[in-house]
Structure 1
Amino acid sequence: MLPLVTAVRYVTPLREGGSLPGIVEADDLGTYVMKFHGAGQGRKALVAEVIAGELGRRLGLRVPSLVVIDLDPLIGRHEPDPDVQDLLKASTGWNLGVDYLPRSFGFDPLGWEVDAAFASRVLWFDAFIGNVDRSWRNPNLLVWHGDVWLIDHGASLIFHHAWANAARLFSGPYDVDDHVLTPRATELAAAEAEFAPRVTEDLLREIVALVPDAWLDGEPGFDGPDAVRDAYVEILLKRAAEPRVWLPSLDVAVNRPRTASRRGANRPGWLGGPA
C-alpha cells in the first residue's frame, strides 16, 4: 500500500475543481493536496489517481508523490464553509494525498513550449489510461522548478464505472482533438516503442497493490479487493498488448488549426477582433 500518514491540520480548500480538495499538513511534516473519498466522484476517482499516477511515475513521467491520509474531520472544525464541513465528515478515514508543489503554476500552452518527445510521451500515456482531462481549457499540468508535472488523473480508467461493459468502453480509439499537447506530439511512434513493452503484468500488479483494500472492498460483481485488482491488471495488460486498437492517428489532429484557442480570439468586435 502507499505510505500512510495522518492529517494534523486542515489549511484551506482548493476551489478550482468540482471535488473541493483541500491542502492539509500531516504528521510526516509533509503538505498535501487531499482528495476525499466522500466527494462526488467517490473512491473510484482515488483508485484512478493511484493506478494512473503510479504508472506514469514508473514510466518516467513527473507525477507528485502519493500517500494515504487518515482523516479525523475534527481537524477542520474551524472551517467556516458548511460544504467543506460536510465533505470532511463524509470522508472520515483514508483519503488520498498528493504532494503539494509550492509556488508551482498552471501550464499555459501559449506561454510554455514543450518538446515533441515529452508531448508524445504524455499523449501516449493519456491515451493508454483513457484520460479525458488534459484539455486546452484544463491541462492538469503544473510547472515547478522549470519542469512540467502531471496531476489529476481521477477522470481516467472510465471502464471501472461500468465493469460489465469495461471491454467495450476501453477499446475505442483515444480522441486527441482536445488534448493540450496534440500539436507537439509528433513522435508518438517513438513513445509507443518506449512505453508499451514496459507495461508488464508484474508492473501492473505492483501498482494495483498500492491501492488500499478499503477503496476496493464491496465492489459489485467481485469477491473482494484482490479480484478487483485482477480485473484492472487484465484490462490494462490487454490494452498494452494491442496499442494500435486505441492509439490515435495524429495525421489530421496535429495539423488542424486551433484558431479558437488563440489569445484574443474571443475579444468583442468593438475591440477590433482577435489580436
Structure 2
Amino acid sequence: MSKLQLRKVNVVRYVTPLREGGSMPAIIEADDDFLYVLKFRGAGQGTRALIAELIGGEIARALGLKIPELVFAHLEPDFGRLEPDEEIQDLLKFSVGLNLAVHYLSGAITYDPIANSVDEDLASKIVWFDALLMNVDRTVKNTNMLMWHKELWLIDQGASLYFHHSWHNWQEQALKPFVQIKDHVLLARASGLEEVDYVAKKILHRDFIEQVVSLIPDEWLENEQVFQSIEEHRQAYAQFLNSRIENSEIFVKGAQDARTAGI
C-alpha cells in the first residue's frame, strides 16, 4: 500500500464566503490555479473539525466512497489585511498557518433523497462509515452529499468524532452504538451492513489507521491539556478508531436495530 500523503497549496485569493453553518468556510483560489472550499482553523470548532474532516476523508476514500481531494492550505499572516468585512478579516487572522481545503466541485447540486436514488450497497457503505465516525450531520435536513457528474460525493465530515471536543470518557465512547444513526438520510436503504462490515474491517487495519493519524499536522494537536504530548494526542485518535473498528458489531447492530424500527 502506498503511503498516504496530502498535497500542500498556498491560498492566493479569497473568492466568496459560504455562509452555511457556524464555521463559515469559503471558496478560495490556491497557487495551483484550482478552487477549493477552505475549512478555517480559526473557526468556532478550531482544528478539531479539521482533524475530523481529514480522518473522515481518508477513511472514506479507502472504503471506495467518493470524496473531493483534500489538501493542506497555507494562509499567510497578511492575507486578510485588505478584507473589508471585519468578521471575515478576524477569521483569516486567526487562521494563519495550515488549514484544510477540499477541491471545489463546480456545478454540483445538493443530494435530494426524493429526486436522487442510491443503491443499497452504497447506502450501506455510507451508513457504516458514518456510524464508525459518529457523524451527526448526514440527515434529511442536511445531507452533506452532492451529486456531481451523476455520482454521489460526500462532503463535510467535520461534525464526526464529536467526543474529541472534550475527550470525556473517550475510551468508553469507542465501544458505544451510535444512536443518532436513526436520523441518517440513507438508513432505510442500508440493507447490507454486515457485508460492508466484513470488507471494511479488512481495509481499515491498524497500519492504515496509523498512516491516517500520521497525516495530522503537529500544530493541529497542540494545546490540548488532556494529553501530555502531541504524540499521545495523536495516538488517542488511533486507539479510538482501532477499538471502534475491532468492535464494529456494536455500532452495526445499533444501525440495524434503528433501521428495523424505522421501516
TM-score range, shorter chain: over 0.9
Unaligned runs of 5+ in 2: none
- How many residues end up aligned between the 2 structures? 257
Contact 2:124–2:190 at 8 Å: present in 1 too? yes
Q: Aligned partner of 1:195: which letter?
A: A
1:166 aligns to 2:170 (yes or no): yes
Q: d(CA) in 2 for partners of 1:160 and 1:12? A: 30
Change (3 A) 1:182 1:252: same
Task: Describe the SS at the equivalent of 1:138.
Answer: coil
Q: CA shift at 1:66, angstroms?
A: 0.8
Contact 1:68–1:94 at 8 Å: present in 2 too? yes
1:250 aligns to 2:256 (yes or no): yes
Q: d(CA) in 1 for partners of 2:25 and 2:77? A: 14
Q: Which range is displaced more, 113-122 or 17-26? A: 17-26
Where do residues 102-121 of structure 1 align in structure 2 (5 Å cutoff)?
A: 102-121=106-125
Q: d(CA) in 2 for partners of 1:218 and 1:33? A: 26
Q: d(CA) in 1 for partners of 2:169 and 2:258? A: 30
State which structure, 1 or 2, has the greater radius of gyration over its C-alpha atoms: 1
Q: d(CA) in 2 for partners of 1:119 and 1:18? A: 27
Q: Which residue of structure 1 lines up, in the alignment, with residue 187 of structure 2?
A: 182
Q: d(CA) in 1 for partners of 2:227 and 2:174? A: 19
Q: d(CA) in 1 for partners of 2:249 and 2:200? A: 13
User: What root-mean-square deviation, in Å, do the aligned CA atoms of Structure 1 and Structure 2 show?
Assistant: 1.6
Superposition TM-score, scaled by structure 2 size = 0.92
Superposition TM-score, scaled by structure 1 size = 0.88
Contact 2:175–2:243 at 8 Å: present in 1 too? no
Unaligned runs of 5+ in 1: 258-275
Q: CA shift at 1:197, angstroms?
A: 2.1
Contact 2:80–2:93 at 8 Å: present in 1 too? no
Q: d(CA) in 2 for partners of 1:255 and 1:44? A: 33
Contact 1:218–1:224 at 8 Å: present in 2 too? no
Task: Describe the SS at the equivalent of 1:46.
Answer: helix
1:18 aligns to 2:15 (yes or no): no
Q: CA shift at 1:16, angstroms?
A: 1.8
> Would you identify which runs of 4 or more consecutive aligned residues in structure 1 move more than 3 Å?
73-80
Task: Describe the SS at the equivalent of 1:142.
Answer: strand
Q: Which residue of structure 2 lines up, in the alignment, with residue 220 of structure 1?
A: 225
Q: Note the alpha carbon deviations across 1:162-196, whole angstroms, 9 max, x for none.
A: 32410223322112221000111111111111112
Contact 1:130–1:170 at 8 Å: present in 2 too? no
- Residue identity (%): 46
Q: d(CA) in 2 for partners of 1:155 and 1:251? A: 23
1:70 aligns to 2:61 (yes or no): no
